[in-house]
A and B are shown apart, each in its own frame.
Chain A
Amino acid sequence: DAKTTQPPSMDCAEGRAANLPCNHSTISGNEYVYWYRQIHSQGPQYIIHGLKNNETNEMASLIITEDRKSSTLILPHATLRDTAVYYCIVRVGSGYALNFGKGTSLLVTP
């Protein structure tokens, strides 16, 4: 699976959009981009995934660049409960393992 690079930490004001970047320059054509998050003392939680097209669900939006070498997870209106570690994971569709890196620690402040 392709390696991902994320900033170790980010801050965001409550109510503002949180934009979390992920670099996956070695991604191959059959690899999906997944985002999970882990709130303190809880298990990881699935957020969203995509292959080529931008995706949106009730939690977030995923923007994937045309060359697929990077992506951005957008939380449109961050709340204090969105404070968590966010993991960007690249995985082949036929694979099963989720290789969690160090992720980005997002702090949402009042």
Chain B
Amino acid sequence: DAGVIQSPRHEVTEMGQEVTLRCKPISGHNSLFWYRQTMMRGLELLIYFNNNVPIDDSGMPEDRFSAKMPNASFSTLKIQPSEPRDSAVYFCASTLDRSRTDTQYFGPGTRLTVL
């Protein structure tokens, strides 16, 4: 099992540019999560998809952030335009949502730096 795959692993961009982060969940999993980690705020949930449908996006900071899941094997998190305060590590996680006690498996993360 390849685990959750994220790309790119590192991204450096300039303020105002569009950034797209990608995630491939574990095959067979039907729930996908995007988290953001910063020193100040720790790990925080941005959005949660179940069966490719966004269920809870209350953690998305603002309209500059958008996430899509066009199929069960791919999701994107887009920031447009990016700002320096968006610099963080972004994690994708997936789970097989049977009893809701199933564990979440995290990817290696994308370290984003906005200059």
Contacts and interface: CB of A to CB of B under 8 A. Distances in A.
Q: In which size bucket is the chain A interface?
A: 20 to 34
B88 to A, nearest CB: 13
B111 to A, nearest CB: 8
Contacts of A42: 108-109
Query: At the interface, is chain B mostly helix, strand, loop or mixed?
Result: strand
Interface in A15-42: 32, 34, 41-42
B101 A32 contact: yes
A97 B108 contact: no
Query: Interface majority SS on A: helix, strand, loop or mixed?
Result: loop
Interface residues of B, number: 24
Contacts of A41: 109
Contact of B43 (A45, A49, A100): A100
A92 B91 CA distance: 22
Interface of A: 32, 34, 41-46, 49, 92-102
24 contacts: A34-B103, A42-B108, A42-B109, A43-B4, A43-B91, A43-B93, A43-B106, A43-B108, A92-B100, A93-B100, A94-B100, A95-B100, A96-B31, A96-B33, A96-B50, A96-B55, A96-B56, A96-B97, A97-B45, A97-B48, A98-B43, A98-B104, A100-B42, A101-B42
